[in-house]
């Protein structure tokens, strides 16, 4: 495989490209050039990411034959959102060249004990020649939003001919348990269908509170520290989760979305000219109404979506979503086990609700 090489853009140009792309007033010509720089900067991370993924796969399979290891380059919209969030006044607090998760790989271990074993024996006592520059144990110290995982940041280093060009690039490694992964995938699913940004702490308070509480319940199952500012009393915790689930209709809605994606896939296969899908889900009756639109009917799709939203405004029993065929494909690429993970999350959620 031929790996992308740097086009010689220095850090100053890379940082400038990031600033240009998040500035709405930047001229089109400048944005096009900036996008070329960012694309190259992201692409050159592929080789070191590939090397770290191979190592992660080898190390994780040593401890867990059922482990799942994946790699990913951060999507352009995610990079730009992160740069935009890191602004203080008119000055950026993060530069593109300093972003530590442009490329990363992840190991999902069967349980938290194996996740810790991989971290301890594979990466704190390991034989990596690359320099570790940062690590966060969000399992021992969960984030306020409920996120739990172990993050390691390495700076790539090689003495091999032709590979020195990649020296200094940062790669993120995530190690998490299956239960922690199910929680994170559920958030991605909710963000996808509701157009929220719970993952970035920019979602609706009700949903964010729900996931924080569920994370603590999962932590209890794994016998690890609870999420800050969630009930220490188990009965109170489970009671709050049950109340939130009932208010949001989480199980019914997520089951509806699961069926919707299956329909999207079937219809998109039968009618490849359809690019947009309007989903109207009757949560109470379990009914799904799906309308498809071609690329030339985008305005009609948006108009129908707005009408459906107004028609169902204030009705909790209805859920209205407009998605593109390409975005459902993106969801499956990011989460190849989407259906299984969604089902398993709901099974574990039901176990928690049964304790309330």
SS3 of residue 138 by DSSP? coil
pLDDT at 332 > cutoff 80: no
Q: Is 10 exposed, middle or buried (0-12, 13-18, 19+ CB in 10 A)?
A: exposed
Residue linked to tokens 């594979």: 122
Query: What value does the mean pLDDT take over residues 21-34?
Result: 92
> Which segment of 109-113, 140-144, 260-264, 345-349 scores lowest on mean pLDDT?
260-264
The number of beta carbons lying within 10 Å of the beta carbon of residue 9 is: 17
Query: What value does the mean pLDDT take over residues 169-195?
Result: 91
For residues 130 and 47, give the distance between their C-alpha atoms in angstroms, rounded to a whole number: 14
Q: Estimate to the nearest angstrom the gap between the alpha carbon of 78 and the chain centroid.
A: 9
pLDDT band at 132 (very low <50, low <70, confident <90, very high): very high
pLDDT at 85 > cutoff 80: no
pLDDT at 337 > cutoff 70: no
Please indicate whether residue 128 or residue 231 has the higher confidence score (pLDDT).
231
Distances (CA, A) of 49 to 1, 44, 71, 105, 156: 14, 9, 7, 7, 9
The answer to whether 276 touches 292, Cβ cutoff 8 Å, is yes
Query: What value does the mean pLDDT take over residues 148-161?
Result: 94
pLDDT at 91 > cutoff 70: no
Closest-CA residue to 80 (of 27, 35, 32):
35
pLDDT band at 154 (very low <50, low <70, confident <90, very high): very high
- The crossing angle, in degrees rounded to 10, of helices 205-222 and 234-248 is 140
Q: Give the model's pLDDT for residue 338.
A: 65
What pTM does this model have?
A: 0.84
Query: What value does the mean pLDDT take over residues 107-114?
Result: 97
pLDDT at 243 > cutoff 90: yes
Structural domains in the chain plus CATH codes: 47-176 (3.30.460.10), 251-332 (3.30.1490)
Please indicate whether residue 36 or residue 324 has the higher confidence score (pLDDT).
36
Query: What value does the mean pLDDT take over residues 62-87?
Result: 87
% of the chain exceeding 90 in pLDDT: 55
Q: Give the model's pLDDT for residue 276.
A: 82
The number of beta carbons lying within 10 Å of the beta carbon of residue 80 is: 16
Please indicate whether residue 22 or residue 215 has the higher confidence score (pLDDT).
215
Query: What value does the mean pLDDT take over residues 143-151?
Result: 97
pLDDT tens for residues 284-319?
666 777 888 888 888 898 888 888 877 877 666 677
Q: Give the model's pLDDT for residue 166.
A: 94
Query: What value does the mean pLDDT take over residues 221-244?
Result: 97
For residues 163 and 279, give the distance between their C-alpha atoms in angstroms, rounded to a whole number: 48
């Amino acid at each position: 495989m031929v790996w992308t090489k740097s086009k010689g853009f220095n850090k100053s140009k890379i940082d400038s490209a990031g600033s240009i792309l998040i500035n709405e007033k930047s001229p089109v010509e400048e944005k096009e050039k900036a996008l070329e720089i960012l694309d190259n900067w992201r692409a050159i991370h592929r080789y070191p990411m590939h090397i770290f993924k191979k190592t992660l796969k080898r190390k994780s399979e040593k401890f867990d034959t059922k482990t799942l290891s994946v790699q990913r380059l951060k999507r352009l919209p995610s990079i730009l959102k992160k740069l935009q969030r890191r602004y203080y006044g008119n000055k950026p607090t993060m530069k593109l060249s300093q972003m530590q998760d442009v490329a990363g790989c992840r190991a999902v271990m069967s349980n938290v004990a194996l996740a810790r074993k991989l971290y301890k024996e594979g990466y704190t006592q390991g034989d990596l020649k690359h320099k570790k520059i940062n690590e966060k144990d969000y399992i021992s110290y969960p984030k306020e939003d409920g996120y739990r995982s172990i993050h390691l940041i390495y700076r790539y280093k090689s003495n091999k001919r032709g590979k020195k060009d990649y020296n200094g690039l940062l790669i993120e490694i995530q190690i998490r348990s299956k239960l922690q992964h199910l929680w994170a995938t559920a958030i991605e699913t909710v963000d996808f269908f509701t157009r929220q940004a719970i993952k970035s702490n920019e979602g609706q308070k009700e949903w964010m509170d729900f996931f924080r509480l569920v994370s603590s319940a999962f932590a209890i199952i794994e016998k690890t520290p609870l999420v800050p500012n969630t009930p220490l009393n188990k009965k109170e915790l489970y009671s709050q989760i049950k109340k939130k689930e009932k208010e949001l209709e989480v199980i019914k809605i997520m089951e509806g979305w699961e069926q919707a994606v299956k329909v999207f896939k079937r219809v998109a296969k039968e009618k490849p000219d359809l690019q947009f899908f309007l989903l109207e889900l009757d949560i109470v009756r379990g009914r799904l109404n799906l309308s498809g639109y071609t690329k030339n009917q985008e305005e009609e799709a948006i108009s129908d979506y707005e009408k459906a939203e107004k028609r169902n405004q204030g009705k909790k029993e209805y859920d209205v979503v407009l998605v593109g065929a390409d975005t459902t494909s993106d969801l499956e690429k990011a989460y190849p086990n989407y259906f299984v993970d969604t089902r398993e999350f709901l099974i574990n959620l039901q176990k928690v609700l049964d304790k309330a």
